[in-house]
Each structure stands twice: as C-alpha cells, then as structure tokens.
Amino acid sequence: MNSQEWFARATAVMPGGVNSPVRAFKAVGGTPPFIASASGAYLQTVEGRRLIDFISSWGAIIYGHADEAVVKAVTDAVVDGTSFGAPSPGEVEVAELITELVPSIEVVRLVNSGTEATMSAARLARGATGRDVIVKFEGCYHGHADAFLVQAGSGGATFGEPNSPGVPAGTVATTRVVTYNDLAAVEQALTPGDVACVIVEPVAGNMGVVPPAEGFLDGLRSLCDKHGALLIFDEVMTGFRVARGGAQERYGITPDLTCLGKIVAGGAAAAAYGGRADLMRLISPDGGVYQAGTLAGNPIAVAAGLATLRKLRVDDALYSDLERRGSHLQSRLEDALAEAGVLGCVQRVGAMLTVFFGVDTVENWEDAARLDTDAFAQYFQAALDGGVMLPPSAYEAMFLTASHTDEVIDRAADILVAAIHGLAS
C-alpha cells in the first residue's frame, strides 16, 4: 500500500488519521508520507523514497534515527521485560545522569511525556507556593494540559481564554498570558503577588525559533525572585539540544524547576521534571503534591535515554558540530532569501532553526502571527518534492542531528535553496 491508501485507512479510525495533529499536514496540504523506517538523517517512506529529515521526531533525536547505541540498549532491555511497575537500577542511573548534566536539577522524577512533565511542574509550583496563578507566554507551547491550552485574553497581561473546546474557562482563569520577550508585561502579571510560577520556553520553538532577547531570561529570574514566584524552564525541546546542559547552561540562568523530554529518552516515550530538592521533596510520596504514572521510568525508555545521555555526556564534538552545521545551513538559506528577493528571515539557536516568510524578524507571537503561511506551504511542498522532509508547519523548528553531516546539510540546502527561488518565480 502507498501513503494515500494508508492515510485513507488511518482517517477511518483515527482523528485526522494521526496520533498528533501536526502530522496530518493540514497546515501544508497534501497527504503525509507514511514512514516505513528511519536511519541516521533519513526517513524511508512506504513507497521506498528516502527523505532527508528535519523533523527528527520533533527534536527528540540528537544522534540520528536508529542510533546504534540506542538500538542495542533497547534490544538488550526489551528481552528482560517492557515494564516492571517496580523500581529498577536503570531509573536511578538515568536520574543521576540528569542531575549531573543539568546542575539545577538536584532531584528528578521521570514521566511519560512533556505534557506530563510541565503539568506536574505547574502543580508542584502551586503546591509549593500556595498560589494558583501561572504565567505563560503567547506562542509558547507546553503540551496539552488544560491550564496551558489558553490564549491571551483581550488586553495585556489579562487572564487567558481557552483555545480549545473542552477546556473550562475556570481552568484557565488562573493562567495569565503575556508577550514573549516583554519583561514589563511579566512585571505587570506578577505584581498582584498571586503567581505560583512563570513557565517559559527559554528558547521558543513553538512559534518557530524565537531566541530570548538580551536580558530577558535574567529579567525573568529577577522578577520571579522579587515577587515570590518560581521560574520553570520548559526545556522539553531545548534540553540537551542547544547545549549539553540545555538553554540554562547556554544562557547561564538557574531555574527553580526544569521540564525535559524528547532527547532525554533518546526518542523513546519518557520525559522528566526536576529542580531544587526542597521543591521536589514536596512530590508524593515524600510530600503531598500528587503525581504518578504506570509506565514512568519503564526499562525500555530508560535504556534509550541512558544510551543517549551516556553518549552525549562525553561527546566533545557534538555541540560544536551542531553549531557549525546549523550556522552553515542558516547562511545558505539567508543567502537564498536575499538572492531570490524573498522577504523572510532565518532564526536559529544551535541545532534548531526556522525559516520565516513574509517577515524580517520574529520576537514574539504578534510577529509570528504575521508570517506568510502560504509561502511556507509552497516552500514545504517544493522541499518535499526535492527529497527533504521539513516540519509540516510554519510555526515549528527544523532539528539537526549528529547524522546531518556536512554532506547531508549541503545536499539538503541545495534543495531548500531551490525551493526558496521557486517562491520568487
């Protein structure tokens, strides 16, 4: 069967034919290729097409698909059982590694998804402070827990309004939404003294890549301290990607709590939240803030995570290679925009980058909302026709892995440059 046939079967039994909305290609049109396998920097479709992959499982893959160490670790683990529902040594080893690689994390809890990690961290902040309000930023995504499915209300730092049916207004009445990179808006939101936490993507990746403005993260740290709110870094995407110790290492900021996902489990189903011991000891069964999970710390995800973290822990070349290759790809794309006379910009932090069309800079959601999504859809389809799989949304990031060698990057860049020139014609 081909992708169209698989998609017809899928849509008959799954919402949108997918298990996560963005995969349905609604933003870019057409039928999503169904993937038979993946290896290194490549996806292999059910039709046998090899595509250079920049989805990289939405950033979860840092060494490339089917990394030899991860495959061996999972293969060795699975024969001993998939889930014990009881403590196992691997959970301890991965927790110790996380606390070593992310020094602000003194105590950590493994969960099954980034959504669980951020949901739990927010509950912990509320439990620890006795305050109900959380502050988030417009354009930042923290998974699909009710409290985060919120859009800015009318006016500045007002309470949020649900951005999904099924989310009660009451649930988001305690979520304040403010503008990314706007410290004045944050100060206004914190002034009432009722805020439990500020949760932020320290490098925004869910409105496309939007770096923190100079002083923004420092300002968040100071404002949270001044107003008795906790600072939560949602590093589900940036963790172990923009630096070995994540954005907090890259920018030198110490959050109170950190959420991790994706790379922490080497592309398997696990995530984590952790931070100051005095806070994490409030989590059940040490403390009263409840959180649990049947498959939390399962040996398969732990094996994949351990294999990945043990590798990147000693890999001195990884982050310099990712930085160099990301910079080279950015340059080639920026040159193409200029040569083709196409209005756009490329924004990058380390091994995550976004090409924005129709705007010359994106510093917040208001900027991102103005981008030319039609141009992106045309660019996306031309790239796919040429053999490059981009994330199927203008509001996502391209993710490089260690398997995106200089040769792969230049081959992909040739295809993407042609796609950009195609916009000009």
Given the residues 262, 273, 319, 379, select the one marked as catalytic: 262
Given the residues 141, 251, 319, 395, select the one marked as catalytic: 141
Site string for ligand KE4, 57-76 (x = CB under 6 A): -x------------------
Q: Does 32 bind ligand KE4 (CB under 6 A)?
A: no
Q: Do the beta carbons of residue 248 and residue 255 sit within 8 Å?
A: yes
Q: Does 22 bind ligand KE4 (CB under 6 A)?
A: yes
CA–CA–CA angle 46, 47, 48 (5° rounding): 90
Q: Which stretch binds ligand KE4 (CB under 6 A): 8-16, 71-79, 107-115, 292-300?
A: 107-115
Residue whose C-alpha is closest to residue 231's, from 210, 245, 216: 216
Q: Do the beta carbons of residue 238 and residue 272 sit within 8 Å?
A: no
Q: Does 372 bind ligand KE4 (CB under 6 A)?
A: no
Q: Which residue in 65, 109, 131, 142 binds ligand KE4 (CB under 6 A)?
A: 142
Q: Does 217 bind ligand KE4 (CB under 6 A)?
A: no
The label of the residue with tokens 């995800």 reads 301
- Point out which residues pair with 279 in neighbouring strands: none
Q: Does 311 bind ligand KE4 (CB under 6 A)?
A: no
Q: Does 174 bind ligand KE4 (CB under 6 A)?
A: no
- Please say if 311 is a catalytic residue: no
Q: Which residue in 6, 42, 137, 141 binds ligand KE4 (CB under 6 A)?
A: 141
CA 186 to chain centre: 22
Q: Does 114 bind ligand KE4 (CB under 6 A)?
A: yes
Instruction: Give the footprint of ligand KE4 on residues 257-276 (CB under 6 A).
Output: 261, 271
DSSP 315: -
The residue among 126 and 136 lying less far from ligand KE4, judged by its C-beta, is 136
Neighbours of 256 (CB within 10 A): 23
Distance of alpha carbon 302 from alpha carbon 73, whole angstroms? 9
Q: Does 206 bind ligand KE4 (CB under 6 A)?
A: yes
- Please say if 42 is a catalytic residue: no
> Which two three-digit tokens encode residue 18?
């997918």
The residue among 120 and 403 lying less far from ligand KE4, judged by its C-beta, is 120
C-alpha distances (whole Å) from 121 to each of 127, 151, 177, 208, 275 are 10, 20, 18, 24, 9
The residue among 59 and 90 lying less far from ligand KE4, judged by its C-beta, is 59
Q: Does 201 bind ligand KE4 (CB under 6 A)?
A: yes
Q: Which stretch binds ligand KE4 (CB under 6 A): 61-69, 232-240, 273-281, 382-390?
A: 232-240
Residue whose C-alpha is closest to residue 400's, from 15, 40, 26, 31: 40
The residue among 302 and 423 lying less far from ligand KE4, judged by its C-beta, is 302
Q: Which residue in 203, 236, 342, 353 binds ligand KE4 (CB under 6 A)?
A: 236
φ and ψ at residue 272, rounded to 5 degrees: -160, 155
Neighbours of 166 (CB within 10 A): 8
φ and ψ at residue 34, rounded to 5 degrees: -90, 135
Given the residues 53, 67, 182, 234, select the one marked as catalytic: 234
- Please say if 385 is a catalytic residue: no
* Smallest gap from residue 155 Cβ to ligand KE4 (A): 26
φ and ψ at residue 83, rounded to 5 degrees: -160, 125
Site string for ligand KE4, 2-21 (x = CB under 6 A): ------------------x-
* Smallest gap from residue 372 Cβ to ligand KE4 (A): 20
Distance of alpha carbon 343 from alpha carbon 139, whole angstroms? 22
Q: Does 332 bind ligand KE4 (CB under 6 A)?
A: no
DSSP 86: S
Residues 6+ apart with CB under 8 A from 201: 137, 140, 141, 142, 234, 237, 238
The residues that are catalytic are: 141, 234, 262
Residues that bind ligand KE4 (CB under 6 A): 20, 22, 58, 113-115, 118, 141-143, 201, 205-206, 234, 236-237, 261, 271, 396
